Amino acid sequence: MINYSKSKMIPIFEPTGKNVSLKSCINSEKCKSLISEINAYLKQGLIDEEQADFLKLCATRFLVYSYSDIAEYYCKSSEPMKKLMEKQSLILLDINKSLENSILKLNKVTNDLIHDNVKDIDSDWEV
């Protein structure tokens, strides 16, 4: 049986003042490698443009985000950049904004699905 934590602790980020570049905020090596392979297949006529576009979008799931670097970058960003980062839920500052951007709605759906499908879990258990 898997033991899940009932902790409702939300990690709080404390800025260190570290200077970070946007490049350090994301590791895209695997994604770029996959896209390169997709482009080679497309160029050889082994897949069509629609298939390539689909696969390229799917390849983005291999992007690896460094949320600590993203948070550091956010601290020193312009207001327009901060607004866009918040809208994409790269930074969660306000629970209401998170709800607006569907992050917490998705968490509730996931939590409800787990409650409906997993036995032997306390009724007040949350993801």
**Residue 27 and residue 64 in contact, taking contact as beta carbons nearer than 8 Å:** yes
pLDDT-above-70 percentage for the chain: 65
Which of 17, 55, 23, 22 is closest to 38 using CA atoms? 55
Q: pLDDT tens, 83-107?
A: 999 989 888 776 666 655 666 556 6
Average pLDDT over residues 23-51: 98
| 3/122 Cα distance (integer angstroms) | 11
Query: Does the pLDDT at position 70 exceed 70?
Result: yes
Looking at the whole model, is its pTM more than 0.85?
no
pLDDT band at 14 (very low <50, low <70, confident <90, very high): confident
Give 104 or 39, the one with higher predicted confidence. 39
The secondary structure of residue 94, as a DSSP letter, is -
Query: Does the pLDDT at position 119 exceed 90?
Result: no
Tokens of 38: 């997709």
Query: Does the pLDDT at position 54 exceed 60?
Result: yes
**What is the Cα 18 distance to its own chain's centre?**
22
| 56/50 Cα distance (integer angstroms) | 10
